[in-house]
Amino acid sequence: MPKAPYSFSFSKFKAIIFEQKEVEIAEATLQQMEESFQFLKSFAEDKVIYGVNTGFGPMAQYKIPKESLKDLQYNLIRSHASGTGNVLAEDEVKAVMLARLQTLSLGKSGISSEVILLMKELINREIYPVIFEHGGVGASGDLVQLAHLALVLIGEGEVFYEGNRTSTSEVFKAENLTPISIQGREGLALINGTSVMTGIGLLNFYYAERLLNWSIFTSSLINELVSAYDDHFSAELNEAKLHQGQQEVAQQMREFLTGSQLIKKREAHLYKSVEEEFFKEKVQEYYSLRCVPQILGPIKDTYQNVLKVLLNEVNSANDNPIVDAEKQQVYHGGNFHGDYIALEMDKMRLATTKLSMLVERQLNYLMNAKLNDIFPPFLNHGKLGLNFGMQGAQFSAVSTTAENQTLSSSMYIHSISNNNDNQDIVSMGTNAATLTKRVINNSFEVLSVQVISLVQAAYYLEEVEKLAPKTRSILQQLQNFIPKIEEDQPLYSLIEETIHYLKNHDPYEN
């Protein structure tokens, strides 16, 4: 296990990505890198070291003459800058650079500090290399995507700068930046590793955790609006089961609902002498309402384990070979393999899809008057038959949930041998990370329809004063931009606004 606390924490990641805190590099880090660089330089003089004086992959049997060593590194970068598909968003590229900078700064790659100093400048000056989603198989790490980062570091390729996609050379000239001059194995060190899947994975965790917090809130609010019983999220019931996530979700629900005048006590209604033979009121709520801690609990536990693995990875040397200046040795192996991240991204994607399924079922309960026996069909504030309420938006939520279900098949087990069978089993980690990103974004779409619908339900009840103080406060924030929908209108812009709000706010900020 790595020493705690991590040298690079999630709070530090958030501060740089979302709060624009500048990257700083300690003098001790630069010194450590210089020692590693100088050791490898002398160590490789009379030895065969993979990627320093040999070809790469299945061509590692070819020794490269001294006069061609620099060309070897440049050729590697240029040939592998072959990505396809959508380009990564600026925050994703920033996360990728940050992850790569961190792992290289450990001094296990035998490269000069010049590399991370330029990377620091790119991050702090908001210069983002053009990197594509498709290309890496996640075995020697994210070779293709990281080659696009390396291409920029040598002054080539393209970047996003001040909102425009521009040639790197123009931006470097404008910013008075000097490209790195490749030395030793720096081309290989830049593209070998898991920093793309890890950087995207850390962003995925940030948004998935926010998604989960909102789902706990909406689950609490729907229980409140339909006057559910309180025992299903009680400490006593949930502590009878030993899962931490379940207990924490139940506690969060209790915190949201403290002071509610709508939530019912079972002892006040059913735990007394009852003469009726048929109860119009349900004795227990539908599973999507009363099993929230049991459904969201394992999702919460999964997310926490994902974060642990991501932090282990970003604080690790994920390169090959590994240079150990202290022991005066170079170790060849497979630390660039992305299986840890691939598996965790698959787990996160599966868990997030289940979250979206819970949201969709709760939405269905709200829409169906025969189920809830409280609200009009589709939460329609207009004239039944003439108006449609949230009916159209429900279709979007259902179709998006269905897409999530299809996207949740595993990438981790979809290895395809390639690279002349040198890479005969691979992780597909970056594919797993980008698919997970899509499922998280999809889930915000589903959640936004639920949030708009819950606000409509609250407008219908007109009992805001009976809500718990916390749920009432958050509801009022939502009502600032979500109106009571009485006349049919296109809802796509309201859905987009709601998605933006949910992704950029946390219910615990209220």
Give the residue numbers marked as catalytic.
50
Tokens (6 digits) for 24: 């700083």
Q: Would you report the helix, strand and coil content of the chain in percent, each value rounded to 5?
A: 60, 5, 35
Helix ranges restricted to H, 258-367: 266-269, 287-290, 292-314, 339-367
The CA angle 425-429-435, to the nearest 5 degrees, is 130
Report the C-alpha gap between 162 and 179 in whole angstroms.
Answer: 20
- With CA atoms as reference, report the closest residue to 141 among 495, 384, 428, 505: 428
* 148 C-beta neighbours (distance < 10 Å), count: 29
Provide long-range contacts, Cβ within 8 A and 24+ apart, for 392-397. Answer: 392/491, 393/449, 393/452, 393/453, 393/491, 393/495, 394/363, 394/364, 394/367, 394/449, 396/445, 396/449, 396/495, 397/359, 397/360, 397/363, 397/445, 397/446, 397/449, 397/450
First to last CA, the chain: 37
Tokens (6 digits) for 489: 């209108």
Report the C-alpha gap between 236 and 266 in whole angstroms.
Answer: 14
CA atoms within 13 A on the CB side of 392: 10
Report the C-alpha gap between 263 and 220 in whole angstroms.
Answer: 10
The length of the chain, given as a count of residues: 510
Residues 473, 478, 479, 481: is their CA dihedral positive or negative?
positive
Q: Which residue has the tokens 């001059």?
A: 181
Report the C-alpha gap between 305 and 243 in whole angstroms.
Answer: 14
- Asked whether the beta carbons of 137 and 423 are under 8 A apart, the reply is yes
- Asked whether the beta carbons of 39 and 323 are under 8 A apart, the reply is yes
Sheet holding 127-129, edge to edge: 127-129, 158-161, 164-167
- Asked whether the beta carbons of 218 and 133 are under 8 A apart, the reply is no
* 235 C-beta neighbours (distance < 10 Å), count: 11
